[in-house]
């Protein structure tokens, strides 16, 4: 044992102590009870299963406090961009990937130039153009459009779509598309109490008198107020130059399992992410939740040449996400078992259950494992990796995802620092997904790259 390994141990201990210090000061610290409010850039849209911003902020502070030179943050499952916003508040660079175009749009909207006065003027223009529009044809068609939108709603949404398309600046259009997405969520015939597409009863639909234009105006005004708050925070910290965030931000649509092939050199200092907890269909259907909004948004504004087939069915984005396909899993079970003793024990525990249950767990873990190698490869040595995830139950039995993930990370050359277990105080996610009995806590797995 040389002094090098001694230094590594010491470095790890400092981080462990920094993270433990929060709980020593307040036993309930990581639960953020009544303190998980979403403001400024965190509050534009209700994306499912968002991380608690304050938690991400504290984790980043602990890491950067120890390593002031760590500036480059990576989130391979960026979602609505909670890590992005917290990184920006600290003046850090950020790279994010997500398979869902809606998530990428949400991240893009948080990094537009902070030209709030111009945005205000542009919004007045968009409102007027939509309100005064003569054309009343329906601008988009997709299977079951009439099921999900009353004609009167579809006509107003079409006016809004055309008014946003007429705005010349793409950064402003992105901001308006997010308000449009929230408007679609509020005015479609799908219930807002669940992330799945779930039609409202007919009498309820018939009784609704909705004005998408009025709703859009309200949401836009609210979001501009949030943008101003975010700008204020960034400006006070000295992170805005001529209206633009001073750090580097790179957000793209991508499958994080394929990241290695698409990138040349990525060297990040901090990974902070929350991957899905299980296959989207039986946990959180991010894709279904985004399906209706994405029908109304000009996808070219998210990414040029975007592959529209992701909207081929209501399930397509979820099918492409972790655990979305079970094809070929028989060929990988043995190698996955070898990589993760915890997964092996979980599979043994599920023997005798419906075969479908084992298949679901294996497919998800196979895809999660596929994302680990590229993610670790993208980090510099001694980089800190924070993975936030819950242990769900399948067939009444717990799936220890935190330990499975730790095994996969160790197999890819990472070392364990600590795991923080926290309660999920908000019932929103659990109740909305009918998995309240299976998920009340989540784990923050902290690792570093390098095995000495």
Ligand X SMILES: C[S@@+](CC[C@H](N)C(=O)[O-])C[C@H]1O[C@@H](n2cnc3c(N)ncnc32)[C@H](O)[C@@H]1O
CA separation for the pair 220, 436 (Å, rounded): 33
Footprint on residues 21-80 left by ligand X (CB under 6 A): 47, 49-51, 77, 79-80
Cα radius of gyration rounded to whole Å, the chain: 22
Using CB under 6 A as the binding rule, whether residue 291 contacts ligand X is answered as no
- The reply to whether 321 sits near ligand X by the rule CB under 6 A is yes
Query: How many residues sit in the footprint of ligand X (CB under 6 A)?
Result: 22
**Binding-site member from 257, 336, 385, 420 for ligand X (CB under 6 A):** 257
| Whole-angstrom distance, CA of residue 302 vs CA of residue 174 | 7
Tokens at residue 213, please? Answer: 């234009």
List 28's β-bridge partners, or say none: none
Tell whether residue 251 is a contact of ligand X (CB under 6 A): no
Please tell me what DSSP assigns to residue 13: H
Smallest distance from ligand X to CB 82, Å:
3
Q: Which is nearer to ligand X, 157 or 271 (CB)?
A: 271
In whole angstroms, the minimum distance from the beta carbon of 130 to ligand X comes to 29
For 201, the 3-state DSSP assignment is coil
Q: Applying CB under 6 A, does 283 fall inside the site for ligand X?
A: no
Q: Which helix (H) or strand (E) holds 420?
A: strand 414-423
**Structure tokens belonging to residue 294:** 């994405």
- Which residue's entry shows tokens 């403001």? 39
Residue 19 Cβ, how far from ligand X at the closest point, in Å? 19
Stretch that binds ligand X, among 86-94, 130-138, 220-228, 253-261 (CB under 6 A): 253-261
> What minimum distance in Å lies between the beta carbon of 205 and ligand X?
29
In whole angstroms, give the CA distance from residue 364 to residue 315. 16
Binder to ligand X among 62, 157, 163, 322 (CB under 6 A)? 322
Q: How far apart are CA 400 and CA 397, in angstroms?
A: 9
Q: Which stretch binds ligand X (CB under 6 A): 156-164, 189-197, 244-252, 255-263?
A: 255-263
The helix (H) or strand (E) run that includes residue 172 is helix 170-187
Report, in Å, the least distance between residue 401 CB and ligand X.
12
Nearer to ligand X, 50 or 155 (CB): 50
Give least dist CB 131 to ligand X, A.
Answer: 33
Tokens 């990138």 locate to 263
Cβ nearer to ligand X, comparing 274 with 406? 274
Q: What is the DSSP pairing of strand 414-423 with strand 268-273?
A: unpaired
Nearest residue (CB) to ligand X, 212 versus 276: 276
Query: Of residues 103, 181, 302, 446, which one binds ligand X by CB under 6 A?
Result: 103
Binding-residue pattern over the window 263 to 282 for ligand X, x denoting contact by CB under 6 A: -----------xxx------
Using rule CB under 6 A, residue 286 touches ligand X: yes
394 within 8 A of 350, measured Cβ to Cβ: yes
- Count the neighbouring beta carbons within 10 Å of the beta carbon of residue 230: 23
We find the least distance from the C-beta atom of residue 257 to ligand X, in angstroms, to be 5
Interface ranges with ligand X (CB under 6 A): 47, 49-51, 77, 79-80, 82, 97-100, 103, 255-257, 274-276, 286, 321-322
């Amino acid at each position: 044992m040389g002094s090098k390994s001694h230094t590594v141990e010491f470095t790890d201990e400092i981080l462990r102590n920094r993270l433990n210090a929060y709980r020593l000061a307040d036993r309930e610290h990581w639960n953020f009870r009544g303190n998980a409010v979403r403001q400024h850039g965190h509050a534009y849209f209700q994306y499912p299963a968002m991380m608690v911003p304050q938690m991400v902020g504290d984790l980043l502070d602990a890491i950067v406090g120890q390593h002031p030179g760590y500036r480059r943050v990576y989130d391979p499952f960026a979602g609505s961009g909670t890590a992005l916003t917290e990184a920006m508040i600290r003046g850090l660079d950020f790279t994010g990937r997500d398979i869902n175009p809606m998530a990428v749009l949400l991240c893009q909207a948080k990094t537009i130039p902070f030209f709030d006065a111009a945005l205000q003027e542009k919004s007045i223009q968009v409102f007027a153009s939509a309100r005064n529009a003569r054309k009343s044809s329906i601008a988009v068609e997709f299977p079951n459009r009439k099921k999900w939108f009353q004609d009167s709603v579809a006509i107003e949404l079409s006016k809004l779509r055309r008014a946003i398309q007429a705005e010349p600046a793409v950064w402003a259009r992105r901001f308006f598309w997010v308000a449009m997405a929230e408007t679609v969520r509020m005015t479609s015939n799908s219930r807002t109490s669940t992330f799945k597409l779930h039609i409202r009863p007919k009498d309820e639909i018939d009784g609704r008198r909705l004005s998408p234009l009025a709703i859009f105006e309200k949401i836009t005004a609210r979001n501009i107020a949030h943008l101003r708050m975010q700008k204020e925070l960034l400006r006070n910290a000295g992170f805005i130059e001529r209206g633009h965030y001073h750090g580097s931000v790179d957000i793209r649509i991508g499958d994080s399992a394929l990241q290695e092939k698409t990138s040349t050199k990525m060297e990040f200092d901090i990974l902070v992410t929350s991957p899905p907890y299980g296959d989207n269909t039986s946990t959180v259907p991010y894709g279904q939740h985004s399906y209706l909004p994405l029908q109304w948004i000009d996808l070219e504004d998210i990414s040029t040449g975007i592959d529209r087939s992701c909207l081929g069915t209501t399930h397509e984005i979820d099918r492409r996400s972790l655990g979305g396909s079970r094809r070929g899993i028989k060929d990988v079970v043995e190698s996955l078992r070898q990589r993760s003793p915890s997964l092996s024990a979980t599979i043994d525990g599920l023997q005798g259950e419906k075969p479908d249950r084992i298949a679901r767990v294996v497919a998800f873990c196979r895809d999660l494992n596929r994302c680990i190698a590229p993610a670790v490869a993208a980090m510099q040595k001694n980089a800190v990796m924070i993975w936030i995830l819950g242990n769900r139950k399948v067939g009444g039995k717990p799936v220890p995802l935190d330990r499975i993930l730790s095994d996969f990370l160790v197999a890819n050359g990472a070392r364990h620092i600590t795991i923080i277990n926290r309660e999920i105080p908000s019932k929103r996610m659990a109740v909305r997904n009918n998995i309240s009995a299976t998920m009340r806590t989540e784990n923050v797995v902290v690792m570093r790259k390098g095995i000495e």
